[in-house]
Amino acid sequence: MRKILVTGALGQIGSELTTELRRVYGENNVIASGRRIKEGHEKLIESGPFEIVDITKGKDVSEIVKKHNVNTIINLAAILSAVGEKYPEQCWDINMNGLYNILEVAREENCMVYTPSSIAAFGPTTPPDNTPQDTIQRPTTMYGVTKVAGELLCDYYFKRFGVDTRGVRFPGLISYETLPGGGTTDYAVHIYYDALKNKKYTSFIGKDTKMDMMYMPDALDAIVDLMEADPAKLIHRNAFNVTAMSFDPEMLAASIKKVIPEFELDYEVDPVRQAIADTWPNSLDDSAAREEWGWNPKYDLDAMTKDMLDKLKIKLG
Ligand code: NAD
Ligand code: AKB
């Protein structure tokens, strides 16, 4: 039976993943953790075990893993791309030293480790269209540097110590439960809130900038399905390209207009986040994930838009 520790559980992915894991594996088998308690997450915190864990403190991670007999760590604690450019030192500390602590505890306590990488692990010299699984990775952001180094470190722990490490390269994730934590793809979440509230949105990402994206229910499947995949079938382990759609702001606005015809989009491009987006792929080739563990997303752009607007309408009242 799995005993799972989720770090960064109150973030965009963790707040939904914890609920899904508790449904699949049982409430008491999923230990949610965060650096601090955050307002608005009371329901999640009360729905099963919750611990305060800062992943930069290896001893604390170790104590919680031992206390709950954890055998699987899903490490979601991180600093994302835009915040990482503002605070590069903190980004390195949490994304690298934090990951190192998690892997060391996993080695000592015999745990599986799941850590998401990102499309940020690619850079301006990566082939931008249908980006291959195995290709040039020379990212130019601190977040991207930590993501590619993290992929390598996880591979190393598998090859050198036999730690069962797994992960995907997530594209921008779109969800309605918890707002994103300071990334470049966040515009594709904010646009839905503003579409419902104001019927217009000002995008910080430019008109023709295409990036890969995915709706959260598919992202949760990507975590559980790869975690449960037969290891004998995995050629790659820690950095599977996965994608569900690729769009630019105009294409997203066109999808929203099918539901809210009066919706308007204009632009006030943020040079920092635009520069980051310009170094990321336009679209990924996710055939390795499809072949090795059956990756098959359910939501395309219009299906996601309909569900997002329906669910947000209820949430915003
Ligand atoms: P998020 O920013 O929403 O959540 C991260 C959480 O980690 C936050 O609640 C934060 O308080 C917590 N945290 C920060 N430092 C910590 C520390 N030292 N110890 C413990 N907790 C700490 O991020 P997310 O979107 O949920 O992302 C989770 C993972 O998925 C990250 O590794 C991220 O790089 C990756 N990812 C996310 C996306 C996306 O679009 N959301 C895309 C690609 C990859
Ligand atoms: C970000 O924009 O930083 C994240 C990501 C794609 O890793 N959403």
Tell me which residue has tokens 């295409």.
210
Q: Indicate the SS3 state at residue 316.
A: helix
Question: What whole-number distance in Å separates Cα of residue 80 and Cα of residue 11?
Answer: 11
Distance in angstroms between the alpha carbons of the first and the last residue of the chain: 40
Q: Are 34 and 60 in contact (CB under 8 A)?
A: no
> Taking CB atoms and a 6 Å cutoff, what residues make up the pocket around ligand 2?
80-81, 118-120, 143, 171-172, 183-185
Ligand 1 pocket, mutate which of 44, 45, 59, 170 (most atoms under 8 A from CB)? 170
170 lines ligand 1 (CB under 6 A): yes
User: Which of 193, 184, 236 has the alpha carbon at shortest distance from 212?
Assistant: 184
For the chain, what's the residue count?
317
pLDDT score recorded for residue 194: 98
Question: What whole-number distance in Å separates Cα of residue 84 and Cα of residue 86?
Answer: 5
Q: Quick one: how far is CA 83 from the chain centroid? A: 15
What one-character-per-residue DSSP string does 186-220 give? THHHHHHHHHHHHSEEEESS-TT--EEEEEHHHHH
Q: What is the dihedral of CA 103, 105, 108, 110, to 10 degrees?
A: -70
Q: Are 62 and 34 in contact (CB under 8 A)?
A: no
| Amino acid identity at 296 | N
- Distance (angstroms) between ligand 1 centre and the Cα of 180 equals 9
- Distance (angstroms) between ligand 2 centre and the Cα of 8 equals 15
Question: What whole-number distance in Å separates Cα of residue 132 and Cα of residue 153?
Answer: 21
Indicate which residue's Cα is closest to atom 1 of ligand 2.
183
- The catalytic site residues sit at 143
Domains in the chain and their CATH numbers?
4-171+215-241 (3.40.50.720), 172-213+244-316 (3.40.50.720)
Q: Residues 64-106: pLDDT tens digits? A: 999 999 999 999 999 999 999 999 999 999 999 999 999 999 9
User: Which of 282, 155, 144, 259 has the alpha carbon at shortest distance from 212?
Assistant: 282
239 lines ligand 1 (CB under 6 A): no
What does the pLDDT average to over 106-118?
98
Q: Are 176 and 312 in contact (CB under 8 A)?
A: yes
317: which residues sit within 8 A by CB, 6+ positions away?
Answer: none
User: Which of 177, 45, 163 has the alpha carbon at shortest distance from 112?
Assistant: 163
Q: Residues 251-269: pLDDT tens digits? A: 999 999 999 999 999 999 9
Query: Whole-number mean pLDDT of the chain?
Result: 97
- Confidence band for 21, pLDDT divided at 50, 70 and 90: very high
Q: Is residue 38 over pLDDT 90?
A: no
Radius of gyration for the chain, computed over Cα atoms and rounded to the nearest angstrom:
19
Q: Output the six-digit token pair for 240.
A: 């599977």
Task: Among the bound ligands, name the one nearest to the CA of residue 8.
Answer: 1
What does the pLDDT average to over 31-50?
94
Q: Residues 189-213: pLDDT tens digits? A: 999 999 999 999 999 999 999 999 9
Q: Indicate the SS3 state at residue 252.
A: helix
Tell me which residue has tokens 């745990």.
111
The DSSP bridge pattern shows strands 72-75 and 4-7 to be parallel
Question: What whole-number distance in Å separates Cα of residue 266 and Cα of residue 249?
Answer: 10
Ligand 1 pocket, mutate which of 62, 80, 148, 284 (most atoms under 8 A from CB)? 80
